[in-house]
Structure 1
Amino acid sequence: MLLMLVAASAAGSQQWQGGWAETRERMHVSAVLLGVPLALAAGCWQGGRERRRGTAELLATAVRGRTAAFLASALPVALWPAAGYAVATALTWLATWYCATGDRPHLGTPLADAAVLVSAALAGHVVGRLVAWRLAAPLLAVAGYVVLGVLGYGDAGWAGGLSPYTETPSDSVPVWWQP
């Protein structure tokens, strides 16, 4: 996640490095369009790995409840993409800090994007446990990318408001719950 987001940001640094709003929008677009499919695939792969290893019988004998057992296996996979996103965001903020004019960094959008990445990894983990197919992870990533792209760029109607990817004008700050 870290390498992908840093590479995506560095590719067009002349477009976003001059202002905080442009930096926020660039990281938001990268996190949703590139990070969510990657988090979905990572979660799905880890969930499928647990199913392939046959840990269901082992977990059935454990003292923990189902939710605790699920979270013990799914949270590490869900938190690593958020950590990579946090480091990539910090690096882009450092790259913007010395040449930004006017505005300030907004913390709400990166926090909400990190929550979206964690949710995507958890959803992918559930799909990985339920679908017994090795190609589920890459196909889930492609499906996530297509769905987010259609909702973000096309005329999605009522479903467009549910998408974590909605472009905002560079002179306004999105509401805290938008991502």
Structure 2
Amino acid sequence: MRRSEDTWLDLLDEQLPIEEVRRWAIRDDCGAVVVFCGTTRDHAGDLTGVTALHYEAYEAHVVPRLEALVAETRSAWPAVVAVAALHRTGKVALGEEAVVVAVSSPHRAEAFAAAAHLIDRLKATVPIWKQEVSTAGRRWSPIAAQIEEAPMTMVSHPGTQQPTDAGPYR
């Protein structure tokens, strides 16, 4: 775990502290806090009857990879003040959160863009793999491809630059 005044990164084998993350991200100098939670749903692509997900991670590389993504996010959106990215390992039951990212900044445009970038890059580049548990049995997510450094391209938007990735979702 890495937790400071402006960065919170963790890999947990228990329920994520969603409300604590939200409260931690609130800042006197920020008018925007965006919190994204990814939850287990009852289907995955063509697979129905999903009852849980099981996540495995290359733990020694998760926090360093998250640190790099936070640096990348802060570089692209310098107004960002606080950034959190926490992910579960082990069994995640239906309706439970598997991942949470939070970003605070003075204005909403940067917070939304930075949070979207962070979750997209996390899913594409952090070594965490998902196994789907369903009434039909277990399978590794068909899109749980080998983790690669996803190339970044800059896409120009009015008032901001947004990095985007070309990596697969898992």
- Per the normalisation by structure 1, the TM-score is 0.30
From the CA coordinates, give the structure whose radius of gyration is larger: 1
Structure 1 or 2: more strand by fraction: 2
Higher RCO (CA 8 Å, separation ≥ 6 residues): 1
